[in-house]
Amino acid sequence: MKTLDIKLIEPNPFRHFDLYPIDDVQVERLMHSIQDEGFWLGLQVRKHPTKDGKYQLAFGHHRLAAAKKAGMKEITAEVVKIDDASMVKRMVVENSTQHGNNAGASIDSVAAIVSELAYILSRHDWEKTFVAIVTNPQAAKSIKGNFDAGKGIGKDAILTFAPEGTLDLREVTTALGVLKDGGRYDELVEDARNRASIYNAKHGPKVEEVLTKTVAAPRPKKEKTFDDRVSHVFKNAHQLDTFRKAVTDEYAARYVPVSKQLDLATSIAKDAEKRKGEITAKGIKESVHQLVMNAIGHSKKAEKEDDEAYLDKQALLSKRVNTALEQLRGAAFHWSKGSTALHVATQEGAILNDTQLRKLRDYIETINTCIKSTSKDIGSKL
């Protein structure tokens, strides 16, 4: 155990605080416990791999936040020598204590595992590390083949990597759906490949050989259809998955854009809290349905207003067209003035009706007759 300056401790690099934020209520409770009984639970850290004198926290983010809030300047921690895979596993174990309390915890865990496995699978020496994780060499090669083909990592690999009892199949399935719909999955894989390319350049064989053997096919980028920050609003994977499927439904997605999903989820949670009830799948679906119906109502109202504005404009322009046509009745004398007015009106979007078009054709014919008649008179005089 070592006493460390609290300012020197940074979070676990695999923690995504936007998916699983620090819970202020839990921090407050822990702070009072520290003030009453002292900080008796030690933390585990490792030396920062790139910043001299600094450390990275393996787990205990709420306790660290509580210690800071309690005004502690120093803290006792166990300094251990562990790799990235162990940092991920210890964080996943910590997150698993939130089963049934925060769906964001399991999403955060799966995101961290995806990041680490993508990194391992992108390294030139992937087999040595990955086979030790999967234990079955044939299964390891199959997973690697799928990853290189751009098909992703797969649930089985994630469940195998996760410490026993920390994640179940439903949580992993939901998490992958959320991460992919939110666009984060592709970001995690891309970042992992970039880190692996740096590792390969330093520790691998010739560049040409690395490119031939380890570069995976890029996944086609998927349009973001879900705000993965919604994760921490719901208590479990079932609630989160119900909400995700409801708002990404082809019909609902037209009226519930990604930018409004977090506000809607927060509203559902607050409503349940106000009623002192549970968030149910039925309640989630009804809330999404109501928002869609309201959006359709607003859309129809806006369309009606647009239609009325359009008709008003057309009525005004029609009057201007009629005035221009009346000016054209005077044939050559008013032709220039009338044709200019008509041109301006049509440029502004005026649509001529059948009567107006018939009048215009008649006036043009009259003008042409006048021009021909005038030309004959001039010719005879010459």
Q: List, for residues 120-152, the tens digit of each pLDDT value.
A: 999 999 998 898 888 888 889 999 999 998 889
Q: Is the pLDDT of residue 194 over 80?
A: yes
Query: In terms of pLDDT, which residue wins out, 177 or 308?
Result: 177
Q: What is the pLDDT of residue 212?
A: 47
Residue 204 lies in a domain: yes
Best-predicted range by mean pLDDT (36-40, 129-133, 161-165):
161-165
Q: What is the pLDDT of residue 228?
A: 93
Q: Which residue range(s) make up the domain with 100? A: 84-228
Same domain, 68 and 104: no
Tell me the mean pLDDT in the region 52-67.
94
Same domain, 102 and 39: no
Answer with the one of 228, 260, 294 that is the final residue of a domain: 228
Same domain, 70 and 104: no
Tell me the mean pLDDT in the region 163-190.
94
Residue 141 lies in a domain: yes
Question: Could you report the per-residue pLDDT of 240-271, keeping only the tens digit for each?
Answer: 999 999 999 888 888 889 999 999 999 999 99
Cα 157 to Cα 136: distance, rounded to the nearest angstrom: 11
Q: Is the pLDDT of residue 380 over 50?
A: no
What SS3 class is residue 43?
strand
Tokens of 111: 């995101």
Return the minimum-mean-pLDDT range out of 210-224, 226-240, 241-255, 294-308: 210-224
Same domain, 16 and 110: no
Q: What is the pLDDT of residue 329?
A: 62
Query: In terms of pLDDT, which residue wins out, 69 or 221?
Result: 69
Q: Residue 151 is which amino acid?
A: K
Answer with the one of 183, 202, 228 that is the final residue of a domain: 228
| 9 DSSP β-pair partners | 55
Same domain, 75 and 97: no
Residue 290 lies in a domain: no
Tell me the mean pLDDT in the region 318-347.
65
- What is the distance of C-alpha 213 from the center of its chain? 32
Same domain, 48 and 12: yes
The CATH code of the domain that includes 60 is 3.90.1530.10
- Name the phi and psi angles at 77, rounded to 5: -145, 155
Same domain, 166 and 143: yes
Tell me the mean pLDDT in the region 87-111.
89
Same domain, 158 and 207: yes
Residue 288 lies in a domain: no
How many separate domains does the chain show? 3
Residue 250 lies in a domain: no
- Global confidence as pTM: 0.72
Return the minimum-mean-pLDDT range out of 279-288, 296-305, 333-342, 357-366: 333-342
Same domain, 217 and 201: yes
Same domain, 153 and 199: yes
Residue 262 lies in a domain: no
Same domain, 76 and 97: no
Answer with the one of 82, 111, 141 that is the final residue of a domain: 82
Q: b or e along 87-120 (b: 16 or more beta carbons within 10 Å of the residue's beta carbon)?
A: bbbbbbbbbbebbeebbbbbbbbbbbbbbbbbbb
Q: What is the pLDDT of residue 382?
A: 37
Q: Is the pLDDT of residue 104 over 70?
A: yes
Q: Is the pLDDT of residue 102 over 80?
A: yes
Residue 138 lies in a domain: yes
Q: What is the pLDDT of residue 39?
A: 77
How high does pLDDT run on average in the chain? 84
Q: Is the pLDDT of residue 76 over 50?
A: yes
Helix (H) or strand (E) holding 59: strand 55-59
Residue 161 lies in a domain: yes
